[in-house]
Homo-oligomer: A and B are copies of this chain.
């Protein structure tokens, strides 16, 4: 018998490895080798060999054996390995830089958010600062005793991204345009050659909601995730998957027209939603002192400050009208409010529901839900790190340790 693997056998083994990994990573309770064999339909011997490779490669780990009531060998529960392989999610937004390191168990090994002012910022300087933040993240991880391999890096940006060409087309509130490719060498210097992939911030943040939602069966499979900051992005989730549109540029909720005769927007148009309901517009309309935050706005509203109440009301009606457009066009009645709206969700819910009820043609036969997104701070970096790790689970082969020499 010829034991050198043919191409077909090789790719079959890769597929089986992915099937086994998925079974272990998706399980609600840690499965044994026998349970993985039953669930996948693979033979016990095949599963054992593949699991051994995943354990040698520090992708899967074994828990202490448990004795079942039946006779026989104790079962060894299999779990994702801890602190061995990590995903890094990074984010550049208008008023902060942020990063999160997650391991295969989903545990956060490090997380940093550094406030700053990146309106009309210099891309090279900003990316150097983000590179420094990345170095700090990894130094933190190493100080805690881990020396993980880096599966991949996702860089979340508030704008139109072409992931495959590493291009940022436009991020109007950063003042960045046509960076093709965006030079990420300041980050690459710190991540051991791991691939750095650009993505839209709202899309990655929506993925973070989705993984959290999983544990709660009452949450819907389809929703619009709204991510507010100076700009307002959104991501459309249908049946637990991102709906990206033709080129991945769906969900530009911030540029839905509220009033064509309204104020000029950074995008070049007029009357866009973010000129009413973005954080800069909100704070300006509330006439709060320069440097105020959304928390200050919440305080002013609870103090019944007239300008703050009026600003929030105006923003809520504008947001509700834009969301009604979304629901009229897409017929998905569930909205999760994230980013800066995390702090405002309770204050916005009623006025948004009023607009939806008035403006959606199907309102009488619909149950609208407008909620705070379950993952607030750092959602885009969490979603990004998870996405990088999902690549390992869907194809573990590149992450296998060198095979042991035949004994």
Known: A172-B361, A269-B359. A330 touches B250 (CB 8 A): yes
Q: Which of A75-83, A104-112, A143-151, A251-259 contacts B (4 or more CB under 8 A)?
A: A251-259
Q: Which of A14-22, A44-52, A240-248, A342-350 contacts B (4 or more CB under 8 A)?
A: A240-248
A317 to B270, CA, bound (A): 13
Interface string of A265-290 (1 = CB under 8 A from B): 00111001000000000000000000
30 contacts between A and B (CB under 8 A): A160-B365, A169-B362, A170-B361, A172-B361, A244-B331, A245-B332, A246-B330, A247-B331, A248-B331, A249-B361, A250-B330, A252-B361, A255-B324, A255-B361, A256-B325, A256-B328, A257-B324, A258-B260, A259-B259, A259-B260, A260-B317, A260-B321, A267-B361, A268-B358, A269-B358, A322-B325, A325-B325, A326-B329, A329-B329, A330-B330
What residues of B have a CB within 8 angstroms of the CB of A234 in the complex?
329
A94 sits at the interface (CB 8 A): no
A222 sits at the interface (CB 8 A): yes
What residues of B have a CB within 8 angstroms of the CB of A207 in the complex?
none
What residues of B have a CB within 8 angstroms of the CB of A250 in the complex?
329-331
The contact of A359 among B253, B257, B329, B330, by CB within 8 Å, is B257
Closest to A169 in B: B365
A260 to B319, CA, bound (A): 12
Known: A358-B268, A358-B269. A332 touches B246 (CB 8 A): yes
Q: Known pairs A253-B329, A256-B328, A256-B329; list 9 more (Cβ under 8 Å).
A: A169-B365, A234-B329, A246-B330, A246-B331, A246-B333, A256-B325, A259-B259, A260-B317, A329-B329
Residues from 84 to 100 in A contacting B, C-beta threshold 8 Å: none
Known: A331-B249, A332-B246. A359 touches B321 (CB 8 A): no
A360 sits at the interface (CB 8 A): yes
Is B359's CB under 8 angstroms from A255's CB? yes
What residues of B have a CB within 8 angstroms of the CB of A362 in the complex?
160, 169-170, 247, 249, 252
Closest to A251 in B: B329
Known: A169-B365, A359-B269. A245 touches B160 (CB 8 A): no
Interface string of A350-388 (1 = CB under 8 A from B): 000000001111101100000000000000000000000
A359 to B222, CA, bound (A): 27
Is B321's CB under 8 angstroms from A160's CB? no
Is B321's CB under 8 angstroms from A255's CB? no
CB distance from A231 to the nearest CB of B (A): 10
What residues of B have a CB within 8 angstroms of the CB of A255 in the complex?
324, 328, 359-361
Closest to A365 in B: B169
What residues of B have a CB within 8 angstroms of the CB of A169 in the complex?
362, 364-365
CB distance from A266 to the nearest CB of B (A): 10
